[in-house]
Structure 1
Amino acid sequence: MRDQLRMRLGQVWPELEIIGEAKNGDEAITLVDELKPDFTFLDIRMPGKTGMEAAAAIGGRSHVVFVTAYDAYAVEAFERGAVDYVLKPPEQERLKITAERLKERLARPAGDVNASVTAMLSQLAEKIATPKPKFLQWIQASIGQDLRMIPVEEILFFRSDEKYTCVQTEKFEALIRKPVRDLAEELDPSLFWQIHRATLVNVNAIEGVTRDIRGRHLVMIKGRPDKLEVSRSFLHLFKQM
């Protein structure tokens, strides 16, 4: 994720100098003390101290930008302007907005927003600590006039178009109205990987990854001719394969 963020920042803000990288919250605090950066990008969940704990320790010494997957409530908290945020995986268009906000914020001391940051961190910590509902075990999907209950383990992939999401199993295809974005939050991320803004794939159904003549990465599905495109934002999922 650090590699991807560094690359994307270099594309949208070439003048930005990245002066240090940390593997965890404790290292981040130490580096801020030593290097005194204008901005610090913190993942919310890190080994040792979390991003929120690190941000509280950093205080007004650096403007904080959170890198987070928790868009369900992060957006509400962060849009108040105390700090900025970037959703995982970092998209180039969103980082352009972040870069412009940070350039404007250079004119203000980081300490000016301390009270707002403290209140936001407290609220966000409370929401993250709230027990999350269990992952979906079944999908209700339509096949013609019939409604089927499909165990999620039997689903090979989900793929959305403008109105519907296709639910593909080994034996049949069904349709639901729930978008992939919502499904990604409700399904076990260790079982279903999002490989495109419109596609979720069952990890156990992946046969491999290939490239076409246009250089696109495509996921091959076991026992099927389907090849699902992987967007650049999700290529990091297959680095270990």
Structure 2
Amino acid sequence: MTDQSPSNLEIITYPHRQIAKRVFKTIEITSTNDVMLKDPEKIFHSGDVLWSLRQSKGHGRYNRVWNSPQGGLYFSILFEDIPRLGSLYPYVLLCALAIRNVLADRTGEDFFTIKWPNDVYADHHKIAGILIQSQTAYQSSRAVIGMGINLNNPMQHISNLRLPAISLYELTGNPTDPKSFLEDLLDRADAYYRDFIHQRFSHYLPELNRLLYSKDKPMILTEGKHQQIVIPREFTKDGYLRCEEDGETVILMA
């Protein structure tokens, strides 16, 4: 499947949620982010989720290819009437926290961390990524937060990855039911969203900063073709990263 029509989509409803009340499921799609943003038939409403078992054109930041074979978990959440993309940055961090905490709960391990701006790591291996994108038309902005999690898809044998990666299966040796994982994750993301819209993001900052990848240690950040060495210090109340570069304090925005 490339561009979906409603008849190709299974719809699962969760009335108790504020977001992710409707989850649209399909077998294969180009990119969940792209399809939700374009949506010429106006299928999707704010808060809807599009979940695909495979993506043929999955991508990350700077249009980097995101390997999306069957076995991983790939989905996007739509937000409509967004005043500015930056207003969602704190919630992107809460989505990363939701992924991280579901992984920790399911493994009993505490080595999962959040790497700014959009990754979840298991030790020093990437296990999940997040991509936020937006589109503006006729004074109205739509945004999607796309997430990809390596569940049952083998990653360690792939030689052309930009960064080392791993899957939950490779960590535990046990397969994971994607629907069960997604339901746990969306329940948590919904709870975090309720706190986010009620201005309670700051309550999560101590936990987020405890889980900051490479906290107080030098690391290389790659932005497009530009690389810089920074020392991450903390996340800010706006969802930015406060870090040190060449002895100076700088604030990085996603």
Q: What's the TM-score once normalised by structure 2's chain length? A: 0.29
| Rg larger for | 1
Asked which structure has the greater RCO (Cα within 8 Å, sep 6+), the reply is 2
Query: Which protein has the bigger helix share?
Result: 1
Q: What's the TM-score once normalised by structure 1's chain length? A: 0.30
Query: Which protein has the bigger strand share?
Result: 2
